[in-house]
């Protein structure tokens, strides 16, 4: 019986040398005349332990990490194929506290399953949601999604069921299901990990959506910065056989435009145009891709659906707090000791995530600021770390959870510099359609430069500029760029030259 | 195959797809390293677009380039999560180190490696995490000696 060894093929693991580890393991096994089965799984999400090698044993999967190629002969010598003792041994993977404390639903198979094997996916419970959906009326599927309380995971947190119902109720000969996998927010990587670690879950969610709204064609729009995710999806589609029935999915690759993560710009891009934001209405649910009713959701939204149908809407709704139901895969990033993927129900505090999971800063210095929700998210000071991770609790402090990305900064950060970057990023990425965003962002960089040079009178001008951008921009790019700028100014005034009184 | 033949072949492969332009441009850049100016008129004709519309799309997206890159393309992440762990100093160091080297340096705004930054991508295939100044120097030296 060949021992199965798991070496992640996830992009973060690859960036930390997983391919060299996989090669070293194959060579060492061959040298010793041992037959092994090497599986390139996704990542378990414990990025500081990557490359994390797992060995299947009768006691379950035993983890070793972080493994360097030079340590491979030593691992064999220590009997790691039977879970032998070694300095890198972390014990049974599922019992590692960081993982054991999580409640993984949407990411339950990420890092566990062989992402290239439909058979493995099905053996681990995959396909059950789609099987049930096929026996349900479209309206029943939509009702299950509505009753689960699932909200859009891209950042806007719009109730998914309402969107699904709108598309279902709009009559048209052709409808589309579009997955937004243009995960451009810095500090986020859950979409990438799911595509690379459990792509069939996404395909299943989209096929269920197709049944619910009456669409037979799906598109997945993936950013060009994610070539490994594109390859994983293409491989999964090639191996899907008749798993999706008559629902067809095509992968479309972006081209380095952040604003294409905005749903209407994304649709323009699939149509082969510049990624320019459309005015709404009409909503994409009524007139979306190629002018047809289109269900466009974030990847995590679609990937949440198979489990909701398989386990029942109530099981999902029972998790979370307030109006934020279910779980969110948070991503701990930036200057953090134990960064990675933390899927938990809504309701933990930011502090628990930063310290109980994250272990504080990577540099060892105090954490000073945290940006939650990507480049358009607020910078929060230590005084707000006790905020509960819940859409409404974050809205109450003028912040947002966005796509669940959390970027930590230690006390060497200059928040005036970060505010300037927010404006600069908006200037680089603005699609140019509306004036407040296109011009306001460039003026914003200039005004912040003058403030940093000591002209405190410009603070009022910056605030007015932000007000114009917030009220006058067509989409979130321009209207939310003021959030990081003003939160930095409000909570870290001392970084702006102490002239903010 | 000559580049005009490659262009013609790619146009034929993709022209009937709905929203064919981006897949077509990706295929061309993958095959030729860039989208040469002489490819614009036949693309426009095949898709019933004006040359200005095609040019508008090519120049809108940061990923597409109209001239060939250097021997290698090094992308350094300049987004917040990498900034939090020294990404700006790394990008500045890369600028100085790669000036006049024949290797193209491009900024990239997030590679999705945010828990192990600063991150670098080489030639769209190879990824590197927790890149220090020394590690970057070694990476560049390896690229220079290989090419």
- A222-236 tens-digit pLDDT: 999 999 999 999 999
- Residue at which a domain ends, from A288, A317, A346: A317
Q: What are the Cα distances from residue B40, in Å, to A204, A274, B82?
A: 39, 15, 37
What confidence category does residue A174 fall into, taking pLDDT thresholds of 50, 70 and 90?
very high
The pLDDT of residue A498 is above 70: no
Within a domain: residue B120? yes
**Which residues, 6 or more positions from A105, have their beta carbon under 8 angstroms from its beta carbon?**
A304, A307, A316, A319, A326, A327, A343
Same domain as A156, residue A229: yes
Within a domain: residue B8? yes
Rounded to whole angstroms, the Cα distance separating A126 from A310 reads 9
- Residue at which a domain ends, from A392, A410, A428: A410
CB A174 within 8 A of CB A272: no
Helix/strand/coil (H/E/C) assignment for every residue in A365-397: CCEEEEEECHHHCCEEEHHHCCCECCHHHHHHC
Q: Is A358 on the interface with B (CB under 8 A)?
A: no
Same domain as A274, residue A145: yes
Mean predicted confidence (pLDDT) in A427-451: 98
Same domain as B140, residue B79: yes
Same domain as A436, residue A290: no
Mean predicted confidence (pLDDT) in A20-35: 98
Which positions of chain B have pLDDT values less than 70?
Answer: 147
Same domain as B56, residue B95: no
Share of chain A above pLDDT 90, in %: 99
Q: What are the Cα distances from residue A493, in Å, to A115, A415, A499?
A: 47, 8, 8
Q: Is A487 on the interface with B (CB under 8 A)?
A: no
Contacts 24+ apart (CB under 8 A), A438-443: A438/A478, A440/A465, A440/A468, A440/A469, A440/A473, A440/A478, A441/A469, A441/A478, A441/A481
Same domain as A311, residue A214: yes
Q: What is the CATH number of the domain that holds A132?
A: 3.40.50.11540
Same domain as B47, residue B79: no
Q: Read off the pLDDT of residues A380-410 as tens digits, 9 standing for 90 and up.
A: 999 999 999 999 999 999 999 999 999 999 9
**Which residues, 6 or more positions from A451, have their beta carbon under 8 angstroms from its beta carbon?**
A416, A458, A459, A462, A496, A497, A499
What residues in A contact B23, CB-CB < 8 Å?
252-253
Give me the number of domains chain B comprises: 2
Pairing of strands A367-372, A324-325: unpaired
Same domain as A255, residue A212: yes
Within a domain: residue A162? yes
Note the ipTM here. Answer: 0.97
Within a domain: residue A114? no
Share of chain A above pLDDT 70, in %: 99
Rounded to whole angstroms, the Cα distance separating A192 from A226 reads 7
Rounded to whole angstroms, the Cα distance separating A79 from A89 reads 11
Buried residues in B72-92 as b, exposed as e (16+ CB within 10 A): bbbbbbbbbbbbbbbbeebbe
Mean predicted confidence (pLDDT) in A254-282: 97
Within a domain: residue A117? no
The pLDDT of residue A500 is above 50: no
Q: Read off the pLDDT of residues A477-496 as tens digits, 9 standing for 90 and up.
A: 999 999 999 999 999 999 99
Name the residue in chain B with its Cα closest to that of A47. B115
What confidence category does residue A47 fall into, taking pLDDT thresholds of 50, 70 and 90?
very high
Closest CA to B98 of B62, B144, B145: B144
Same domain as B90, residue B137: yes
Same domain as A486, residue A447: yes
Edge-to-edge strand list for the sheet holding A327-334: A340-345, A327-334, A405-410, A367-372, A379-381
**Which residues, 6 or more positions from A370, have their beta carbon under 8 angstroms from its beta carbon?**
A350, A354, A379, A380, A385, A406, A407, A408, A409
CB B4 within 8 A of CB B36: no
Within a domain: residue A405? yes
Structural tokens at position A61: 């999967």
Q: Determine whether the interchain pair B21/A184 forms a contact, defined as Cβ–Cβ distance below 8 Å.
A: no
Within a domain: residue A115? no
pLDDT at A501: 44
Within a domain: residue B65? no
Rounded to whole angstroms, the Cα distance separating A151 from A323 reads 9
Within a domain: residue A156? yes
Rounded to whole angstroms, the Cα distance separating A186 from B111 reads 8
What residues in B contact A429, CB-CB < 8 Å?
109
Within a domain: residue B22? yes
Q: What is the CATH number of the domain that holds A446?
A: 1.20.1440.230
Out of A227, A254, A410, closest to residue B125 by CB = A227
The rounded mean pLDDT for chain A is 97
The pLDDT of residue A449 is above 60: yes
Give me the number of domains chain A comprises: 4
CB A400 within 8 A of CB A373: yes
Within a domain: residue B83? yes
Q: How far is CA A268 from the centre of its chain?
A: 22
Same domain as A380, residue A324: yes
What residues make up the domain containing B18? 3-60
Backbone angles phi, psi at A98, to 5 degrees: -55, -35
Within a domain: residue B24? yes
Distance from CA of B117 to the nearest CA of A (A): 7
What residues in A contact B56, CB-CB < 8 Å?
274
Edge-to-edge strand list for the sheet holding A176-181: A248-253, A217-222, A176-181, A294-298
Same domain as B82, residue B44: no
Distance from CA of B114 to the nearest CA of A (A): 5
Out of B21, B109, B117, closest to residue A272 by CB = B21
Q: Read off the pLDDT of residues A81-131 as tens digits, 9 standing for 90 and up.
A: 999 999 999 999 999 999 999 999 999 999 999 999 999 999 999 999 999
Mean predicted confidence (pLDDT) in A259-286: 97
Burial class of residue A155 in the structure, from the number of CB atoms within 10 Å of its CB (0-12 exposed, 13-18 middle, 19+ buried): buried
Same domain as B32, residue B80: no
Can you tell me which residue has the tokens 């989209």?
A206
Same domain as A91, residue A43: yes
Q: Read off the pLDDT of residues A177-195 as tens digits, 9 standing for 90 and up.
A: 999 999 999 999 999 999 9
Rounded to whole angstroms, the Cα distance separating A499 from B14 reads 58
- Please state whether A177 falls in left (phi above 0), alpha (psi between -120 and 50) or beta: beta
Sign of dihedral through CA atoms A429, A432, A437, A438?
A: positive
Same domain as A268, residue A152: yes
- Residue at which a domain ends, from A274, A299, A317: A317
What residues make up the domain containing A427? 415-496
Closest CA to A190 of A439, A498, A405, A461: A405
């Amino acid at each position: 019986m060949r021992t199965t060894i798991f070496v992640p093929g996830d992009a973060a693991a690859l960036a930390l040398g997983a391919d060299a580890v996989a090669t070293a393991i194959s060579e060492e096994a061959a040298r010793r005349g041992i037959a092994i089965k090497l599986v390139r799984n996704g990542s378990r999400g414990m990025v500081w332990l990557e490359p994390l090698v797992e060995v299947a044993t009768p006691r379950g999967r035993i983890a070793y990490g972080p493994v360097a190629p030079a340590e491979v002969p030593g691992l064999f010598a220590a009997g790691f194929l039977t879970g032998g003792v070694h300095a890198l041994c972390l014990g049974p993977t599922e019992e590692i506290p960081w993982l054991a404390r999580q409640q993984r639903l949407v990411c339950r198979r990420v890092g566990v399953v062989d992402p290239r094997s439909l058979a493995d996916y099905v053996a681990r419970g995959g396909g059950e949601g789609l099987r049930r959906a096929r026996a349900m009326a479209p309206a029943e599927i939509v009702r299950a999604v509505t009753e689960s309380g699932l909200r859009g995971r891209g950042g806007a947190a719009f109730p998914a069921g309402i969107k699904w119902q709108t598309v279902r109720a709009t009559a048209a000969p052709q409808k589309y299901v579009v997955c937004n996998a243009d995960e451009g927010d810095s500090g986020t990587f859950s979409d990438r990990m799911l595509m690379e670690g459990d792509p069939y879950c996404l395909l299943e969610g989209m096929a269920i959506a197709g049944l619910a709204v009456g669409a037979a064609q799906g598109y997945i729009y993936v950013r060009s910065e994610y070539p490994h995710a594109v390859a994983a999806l293409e491989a999964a589609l090639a191996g899907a056989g008749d798993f999706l029935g008559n629902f067809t999915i095509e992968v479309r690759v972006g081209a380095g435009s952040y604003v294409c993560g905005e749903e209407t710009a994304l649709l323009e891009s699939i149509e082969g145009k510049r990624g320019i934001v459309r005015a709404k209405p009409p909503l994409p649910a009524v007139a979306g891709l190629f002018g047809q009713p289109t269900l466009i959701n974030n990847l995590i939204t679609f990937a949440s659906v198979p489990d909701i149908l398989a386990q029942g809407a109530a099981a999902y709704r029972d998790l979370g707090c307030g109006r934020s139901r279910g779980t969110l895969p948070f991503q701990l990033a930036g200057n953090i000791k134990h960064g990675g993927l933390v899927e938990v129900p809504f309701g933990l505090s930011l502090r628990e995530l930063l310290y109980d999971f994250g272990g504080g800063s990577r540099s060892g210095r105090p954490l000073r600021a945290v940006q939650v929700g990507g480049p358009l998210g607020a910078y929060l000071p230590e005084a707000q770390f006790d905020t509960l991770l819940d859409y409404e609790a974050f809205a109450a402090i003028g912040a947002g959870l966005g796509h669940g990305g959390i970027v930590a900064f230690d006390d060497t950060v200059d928040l005036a510099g970060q505010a300037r970057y927010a404006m600069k990023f908006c200037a680089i990425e603005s699609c140019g359609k509306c004036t407040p965003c296109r011009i306001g962002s460039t003026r914003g960089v200039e005004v912040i430069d003058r403030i940093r040079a000591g002209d405190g009178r410009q603070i009022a001008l910056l605030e007015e500029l932000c007000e114009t951008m917030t009220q006058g921009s067509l989409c979130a790019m321009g209207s939310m760029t003021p959030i990081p700028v003003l939160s930095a100014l409000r909570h870290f005034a001392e970084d702006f030259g102490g002239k903010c009184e | 195959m000559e580049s005009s033949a490659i262009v013609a072949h790619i146009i034929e492969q993709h022209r009937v797809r709905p929203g064919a332009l981006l897949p077509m441009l990706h295929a061309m850049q993958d095959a030729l390293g860039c989208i040469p100016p002489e490819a614009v008129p036949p693309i426009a004709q095949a898709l019933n677009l004006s040359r200005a519309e095609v040019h508008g799309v090519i120049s809108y997206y940061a990923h597409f380039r109209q001239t060939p890159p250097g021997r290698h393309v090094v992308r350094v992440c300049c987004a917040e999560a990498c900034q939090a762990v020294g990404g700006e100093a790394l990008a500045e160091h890369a600028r100085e180190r790669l000036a006049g080297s024949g290797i193209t340096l491009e900024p990239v705004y997030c590679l999705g490696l945010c828990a192990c930054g600063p991150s670098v991508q080489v030639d769209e295939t190879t990824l590197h995490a927790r890149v220090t100044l020394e590690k970057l120097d070694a990476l560049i030296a390896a690229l220079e000696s290989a090419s």
